[in-house]
Amino acid sequence: MSPNDDIAALIRTIPDFPKPGILFRDITTLLLDARGLATTIERLAALHAGPVDLVAAIEARGFIFGAAVAHALGAGLVLIRKDGKLPGVTVGVDYALEYGQDRVEMHEDAVVPGARVLLVDDLIATGGTALAAIRLIRKAGGTVAAASFVIDLPDLGGAARIAAEGVAAGALVSFPGH
């Protein structure tokens, strides 16, 4: 029995979405449960021991958890978005997808050199987007203190890839498969 089984029980699994063979871990059922959502935020915030200046949240579901964790930690919030979604001057990082390229961006003045940043998202799978976000924060001169996720899919290796980059990655629950 895991200390976060209560949270895991609130996450619905949808088979064959978005394509056959995928087990989609759906957090919308967790979000519907007020107590479960509050518990998730408290535990996500508790995963990181130490002060941070900013919480960086990855579009889009990461915004939900990132904003609440930033509030709980008394930190500011940095939005990490897909290319072309932010209105101001941005800085970005390109990264490889299974079939092609993508890009994440943030406002160029969002992270000042020396800022300690906690990266937050709902799920870590292969780690491509999270690693791009880490590179983006570092490019701006920030220090990535840690990365926190609601869900880890350890069979896909994302948390291990983040750890190999020198960033501690924690998750509340993990599910086998993909």
> Does residue 1 lie within any of the structural domains?
no
| Catalytic choice (61, 103, 116, 135) | 61
| Known active-site residue 138 | no
> Does residue 33 lie within any of the structural domains?
no
| Known active-site residue 42 | no
The domain spanning residue 105 has which CATH number?
3.40.50.2020
The per-residue pLDDT for 49 is 79
> Does residue 2 lie within any of the structural domains?
no
Q: How deeply is 78 buried, as exposed, middle or buried, from its count of CB atoms within 10 A (0-12, 13-18, 19+)? A: buried
Provide the whole-model pTM: 0.95
> Does residue 168 lie within any of the structural domains?
yes
> Does residue 132 lie within any of the structural domains?
yes
| Catalytic choice (12, 43, 81, 98) | 98
- β-pairing, 23-26 vs 12-15, is antiparallel
Domain range for 169 is 50-174
Tell me the per-residue pLDDT of 102-151, one tens digit each, with 9 for 90 and over: 999 999 999 999 999 999 999 999 999 999 999 999 999 999 999 999 99
> Does residue 88 lie within any of the structural domains?
yes
Counting the structural domains of the chain, the total is: 1
